[in-house]
């Protein structure tokens, strides 16, 4: 006999979107359950860099989730853009009335959210399989799953389902293909990222445009640094020895000032592809998409986690209004409200990506235009302000009752 559980909201995916949504609903007294196909160790061990927008930092602190972030995060006044061997500091704090660049890795945010969720007594089922969505066009949607590959099928009866399960998850695929309107760019370059045991080489992030390709210097802790170089996304990581990686990083990051990159043992490396993607159908019946299930941005603009949190902040308001008062306006307006911010973030991420990277498919004219854009950005206060405003985060309304 199938075991049936009843929850107002079923959440698929224990990434930033699903975890933040569960916390926001919990603060409104709305129960939910999270289903995650990976183990807790896999979820918490997936290393991802992260730059948090100022409003996300403020939200985490208001929700009581920011203690470790404030203790271990890295707070910078801006970033450095480097090209033609010269460095240009963008003072984002000065340009945006004190908003800072907060470097706190996504996996660290997830660890904090999981720990707080379990401490609150909330349910997260890790390692589930065979997740399927049913009846999403009805008032009684259901999720079926197995706790393990050989376990019996179980069912969760919900009022609503939140698909927070990423680009490859089942939620978006549950929406009929004829209904989904999807837009995508797959970039002809990717990032080779490393984690290295080394002290910081610089006090803030460096974004470097070089004739050999893009490079980025970031940080994870006082003893561990995160660095990236642009590569062919189809390249084999076996072709990249540590010595070759460091050689490229030195070539692409160093400038005419005599600044030098500090090396250290590399203990993790891998290549990631890059795409921009938007599914404009973020709601179908009682199913709502959020985070990477609905949109992907290249990491250059540092928007992925922040967009996921913005989605579920809107969704939590809409679900609360309906479940408490029967008000459907927020649910009906969910896609339009989210997509306005999403397309702005997509634009900024595309802008940063195309401006900073060497695209082998572009003409020399297009490449020169990108360099002219960089030159304009660092010499125009208006252009620097626009970049800073987008980077630290466009305004986001946080209702007081959702963040307590």
Average pLDDT over every residue of 209-227 = 93
Rounded-to-integer distance, Cα 302 and Cα 314, Å: 20
Pairs from 343-346 (Cβ < 8 Å, separation ≥ 24):
343/278, 344/390, 344/394, 345/297, 345/301, 345/303, 345/306, 345/307, 345/390, 346/276, 346/278, 346/295, 346/297
Average pLDDT over every residue of 372-398 = 96
pLDDT digits (tens, 9 = 90+) for 19-49: 999 999 999 999 999 999 999 999 998 877 7
Reported as a pLDDT band with limits 50, 70 and 90, residue 99 is very high
CATH code reported for the domain at 190-272: 3.30.9.10
Q: Which two tokens stand for residue 391?
A: 């980077």
pLDDT value of position 1: 55
CATH fold of 3-50+105-186+276-357, please?
Answer: FAD/NAD(P)-binding domain (3.50.50)
Exposure of 272 in the CB half-sphere (CA atoms within 13 A)? 16
pLDDT digits (tens, 9 = 90+) for 177-213: 999 999 999 999 999 999 999 999 999 999 999 999 9
Rounded-to-integer distance, Cα 256 and Cα 103, Å: 27
Domain with CATH 3.30.9.10 in the chain: 190-272
Domain with CATH 3.50.50.60 in the chain: 3-50+105-186+276-357
Q: Which two tokens stand for residue 392?
A: 């630290």
Active site residues: 76, 207, 299, 303, 391
């Amino acid at each position: 006999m199938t075991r049936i559980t009843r929850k107002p909201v079923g959440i698929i995916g224990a990434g930033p979107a699903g975890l933040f949504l569960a916390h926001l609903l919990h603060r409104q007294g709305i129960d939910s359950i999270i289903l995650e196909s990976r183990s807790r160790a896999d979820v918490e061990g997936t290393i991802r860099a992260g730059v948090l927008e100022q409003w996300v930092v403020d939200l985490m602190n208001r929700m009581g989730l920011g203690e470790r972030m404030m203790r271990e995060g890295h707070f910078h006044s801006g970033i450095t853009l480097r090209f033609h061997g010269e460095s240009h500091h963008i003072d984002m704090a000065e340009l945006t009335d004190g908003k800072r660049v907060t470097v706190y890795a996504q996996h660290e945010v997830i660890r904090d959210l999981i720990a707080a969720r379990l401490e609150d007594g909330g349910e997260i089922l890790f390692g589930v399989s065979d997740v399927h969505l049913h009846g999403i066009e009805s008032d009684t949607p259901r999720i079926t799953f197995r706790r393990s590959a050989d376990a019996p099928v179980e069912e969760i009866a919900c009022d609503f389902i939140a698909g927070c399960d990423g680009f490859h998850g089942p939620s978006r695929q549950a929406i009929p293909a004829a209904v989904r309107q999807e837009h995508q760019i797959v970039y002809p370059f990717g990032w080779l990222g490393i984690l290295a045991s080394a002290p910081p080489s610089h006090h803030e992030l460096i974004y470097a445009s070089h004739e050999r390709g893009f490079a980025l210097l970031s940080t994870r802790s006082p003893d561990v640094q995160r660095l990236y170089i642009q590569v062919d996304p189809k390249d084999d990581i076996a072709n990249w020895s540590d010595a070759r990686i460091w050689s490229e990083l030195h070539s692409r990051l160093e400038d005419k000032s005599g600044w030098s990159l500090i090396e250290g043992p590399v203990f993790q490396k891998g290549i990631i592809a890059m795409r921009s993607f938007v599914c404009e159908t973020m709601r179908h019946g009682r199913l709502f998409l959020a985070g990477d299930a609905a949109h992907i941005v290249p990491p250059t603009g540092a928007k992925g986690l922040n967009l996921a949190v913005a989605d579920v902040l809107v969704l939590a308001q809409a679900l609360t209004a309906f479940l408490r008062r029967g008000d459907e306006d927020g649910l009906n307006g969910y896609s339009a409200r989210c997509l306005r911010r999403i397309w702005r973030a997509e634009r900024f991420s595309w802008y940063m990506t195309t401006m900073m990277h060497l695209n082998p498919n572009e003409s020399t004219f297009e490449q020169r235009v990108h360099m002219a854009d960089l030159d304009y950005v660092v010499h125009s206060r208006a252009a620097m302000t626009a970049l800073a405003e987008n980077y630290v985060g466009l305004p986001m309304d946080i209702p007081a009752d959702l963040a307590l």
